[in-house]
């Protein structure tokens, strides 16, 4: 049976050059984690996504069973012999995170920090295939991939330790990306590279230093993207953090996002790769979408041809969500490719997530 409700939607990639283009309907992008409280069965969770996005174009179908999967990773590092905990934490807030260091006499290896994403992705693809047999062609399964810099910082805390062991995390992420893309092609999976550290770092440094830091941050993102075959579908999820539905920081405008996106586009051009669609958060934590015209002014400097996913959908603020989308598009001078919440739905109840998805579908079609 072919469904008209869930058409396969390729993740857009930036065009090689700017120029007139025909506006296409905006899609709805689910940033990643699904709400807690859903059945843990993969088939049921994917069906939940499809049932609550009726009529909307989807960029991909997320599959993360546990909205706290990064938290679980951090907590489980206590069982790794090469690591010792220097600060305990229950991950209830960013001030309550466990921090580790490499134990004296040990060498940190890729196996010590592996995520094991392939073992989770393959069952998700199998469930996706089963659903597709009934619904018709579906957009690909979305696989969340943390930036190695983010994972190093989350695990090791101190910047000096994180940078020292960053190559280990980078090799691990690149190996897992290679394994996933070797087994599953671009029609089956779309990878989403996620990084709250990028915008947080740019927020923390003095404004004159931001362009240099943006290029350094973009370089490490580009290395992950080019570690996969050129046919791989990617999106980039920039984030302000959302642990406990509270952000790491509150942005004043979109200038840091524009800086790093432009820098990444330049890096990928040097590698001969396309720029992925980029999710730009336009709200943060429990705060409503930005609706100050000046906050969106930096979008005028965004490299042309980049597909933007507007992270402006807040189910508690439907009017502000629509206004944020309008401001973003007016400043860009074109429609955005898609709309989304500012972060995943893992901090929402199922009922709140449904409201968010319904609003996303509504404003995507406006």
Residue 286 lies in a domain: yes
Give residue 276's domain range. Answer: 27-68+108-364
Residue 185 lies in a domain: yes
Domains contained in the chain, number: 1
Residue 73 lies in a domain: no
Q: What confidence score (pLDDT) does residue 344 get?
A: 85
pLDDT per residue rounded down to tens, the chain (366 residues): 333 344 444 444 444 334 444 567 899 999 988 888 888 788 888 899 999 988 899 999 987 766 677 888 999 999 999 999 999 887 777 777 899 999 999 999 999 999 998 998 999 999 999 998 877 789 999 999 999 999 999 999 878 999 999 999 999 999 999 999 999 999 999 999 999 899 999 998 999 999 999 999 999 999 999 999 999 999 999 988 766 666 676 778 999 999 999 999 999 999 999 999 999 999 887 788 999 999 999 999 999 999 999 999 999 999 999 999 999 999 999 999 999 999 888 888 899 999 999 999 999 998
Residue 16 lies in a domain: no
Q: Global pTM?
A: 0.91
Distance, CA of 95 to CA of 90 (rounded, Å): 10
Residue 281 lies in a domain: yes
Distance, CA of 194 to CA of 220 (rounded, Å): 12
Q: What confidence score (pLDDT) does residue 9 get?
A: 43
Phi, psi (degrees; rounded to nearest 5) at 77 = -65, -15
Residue 352 lies in a domain: yes
Of all helices (H) and strands (E), which one includes residue 353? helix 350-364
Residue 339, SS3 per DSSP: strand
CATH number at residue 184: 3.20.20.210
Q: What confidence score (pLDDT) does residue 65 get?
A: 64
Give the list of residues 6+ apart from residue 111 with CB closer than 8 angstroms, or none.
none
Residue 96 lies in a domain: no
E-strand stretches of the chain: 27-28, 61-62, 83-87, 99-102, 141-146, 189-195, 233-238, 277-281, 308-311, 338-340
Q: What confidence score (pLDDT) does residue 64 get?
A: 75
CB 220 within 8 A of CB 174: no
Residue 76 lies in a domain: no
């Amino acid at each position: 049976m072919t469904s008209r409700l869930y058409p396969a939607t390729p993740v857009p990639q930036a065009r090689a050059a700017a120029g007139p283009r025909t506006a296409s309907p905006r899609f709805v992008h689910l940033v990643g984690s699904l709400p807690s409280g859903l059945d843990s069965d993969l088939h049921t969770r994917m069906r939940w996504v499809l049932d609550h996005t009726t009529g909307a174009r989807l960029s991909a179908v997320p599959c993360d069973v546990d909205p706290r999967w990064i938290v679980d990773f951090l907590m489980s590092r206590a069982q790794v012999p090469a690591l010792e905990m220097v600060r305990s934490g229950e991950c209830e807030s960013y001030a309550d995170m466990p921090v580790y260091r490499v134990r004296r006499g040990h060498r940190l290896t890729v196996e010590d920090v592996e995520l094991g994403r392939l073992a989770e992705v393959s069952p998700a693809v199998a469930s996706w295939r089963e659903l597709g047999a009934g619904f018709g062609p579906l957009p690909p399964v979305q696989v969340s991939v943390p930036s190695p810099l983010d994972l190093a910082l989350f695990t090791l805390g101190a910047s000096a330790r994180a940078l020292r062991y960053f190559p280990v995390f980078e090799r691990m992420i690149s190996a897992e990306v290679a394994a996933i893309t070797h087994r599953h092609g671009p029609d089956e999976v779309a990878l989403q590279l996620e990084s709250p550290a990028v915008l947080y770092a740019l927020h923390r440094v003095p404004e004159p230093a931001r362009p240099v830091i943006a290029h350094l941050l973009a370089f490490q993102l580009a290395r992950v993207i080019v570690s996969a075959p050129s046919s791989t579908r990617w999106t980039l999820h920039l984030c302000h953090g959302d642990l406990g539905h509270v952000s790491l920081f509150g942005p004043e405008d979109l200038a840091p996002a524009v800086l790093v996106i432009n820098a990444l586009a330049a890096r990928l051009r040097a590698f001969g790769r396309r720029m992925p669609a980029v999710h730009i958060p336009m709200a943060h934590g429990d705060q409503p979408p930005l609706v100050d015209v000046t906050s969106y002014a930096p979008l005028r400097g965004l490299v042309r041809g980049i597909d933007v996913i507007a992270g402006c959908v807040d189910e508690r603020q439907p009017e502000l969500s629509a206004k944020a989308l309008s401001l973003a598009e007016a400043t860009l001078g074109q429609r955005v490719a898609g709309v989304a919440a500012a972060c995943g739905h893992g901090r929402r109840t199922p009922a709140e997530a449904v409201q968010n998805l319904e609003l996303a579908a509504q404003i995507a079609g406006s």
